[in-house]
Copies of this chain bind each other. A is one copy, B any other.
Amino acid sequence: MKSQVVTFLIKCPDQKGLVAKITNFFYNKGFNILSCQQYVNSLEETYFMRVRLNAAGTEISKTELEESFLELAVPLQFKWSVKYSNQMQNVAIMVSHTSHNLYDLLERSKEGRLNCKIKMIISNHDKLRSIADMFQVPYYHLPVTNETRELQEAQIIDLIETNEIDLVVMARYMQILSSYFINRYPEKIINIHHSFLPAFQGANPYKRAYERGVKLIGATAHYATEDLDEGPIIEQDVKPVTHDSTPSTLKRIGADIEKLVLARAVKNHLQHQIIVSGNRAIVFPEAGE
């Protein structure tokens, strides 16, 4: 396990001594604790920890680590996961007509600024294929109608599973996925919505923002759940606008917000900074990473 960074994400009932017990455990196994971030939700009496370990000084195997961790995790009622930095994560991007998020993710990945491999792009249209070609990423055109939805989703599921996809990014995919699909991949699908949720859920947020006369427009990246645009929020941002912005101006200004918000959310997910609790996403900041 040498020269790896190991990241544990832990959630459990709050109780005295948790930091001491957890950090002791890793210290005694020979790990160097690179960072240890905690969050206590005192309203719900719940404790959250993200701990990053350097495995350089230990001979322990992954199996030994995970098995011995159970001795701590079971009595303290942890819900936990562990990630190893040498496991490259596979990503699929789903798009429809809009290109800006797609370019942005492909560029970041190509230039080594996102810690993942983008294995494929899936679209219900053929429109963005040339972008996939530029970046030499396979492009699957899977058209969909109300009649073929079940079949198309089965094709997508097949692609996801054959390619061992770890994360699906809906980068302005304008179809509603079935609950069956969504529930198959909990906390594995990130969607970008082009408003500051919960404002302007659903269709045409820029047009509605114009009509409401808001002085800010925004974008929200969240985990997809079966309730449309209601999943746990990972990232949000806004920009000021004025009365002078038409719906198409808002769309253009919004595109730049969407790009940054989605890219940050994907990075936070890939760096294991997120623990979901109910409908809230605990997003630990980077710790000198």
A interface vs B, CB < 8 Å? Answer: 16-20, 23-24, 26-27, 32-43, 57, 99-100, 103, 107, 111, 113, 134-135, 196-200, 211-216, 218, 232-238, 242-246, 249, 252, 255-256, 260, 263, 279-283, 285-289
Contact = CB atoms under 8 A, between A and B. Distances in A.
Given A23-B20, A42-B246, A256-B260, A111 B134 contact: no
Contact of A213 (B100, B232, B244, B286): B232
Nearest to A264: B256
B281 A243 contact: yes
Query: Does more than half of chain A's interface fall in helix, strand or loop, or is it mixed?
Result: mixed
A283 B42 contact: no
Nearest to A200: B198
Nearest to A16: B32
Nearest to A38: B36
Given A33-B20, A107-B103, A198-B199, A39 B216 contact: no
- Residue from A23, A200, A243, A289 with most neighbouring chain B CB atoms (10 Å): A243
Contact of A19 (B36, B245, B289): B36
Nearest to A113: B252
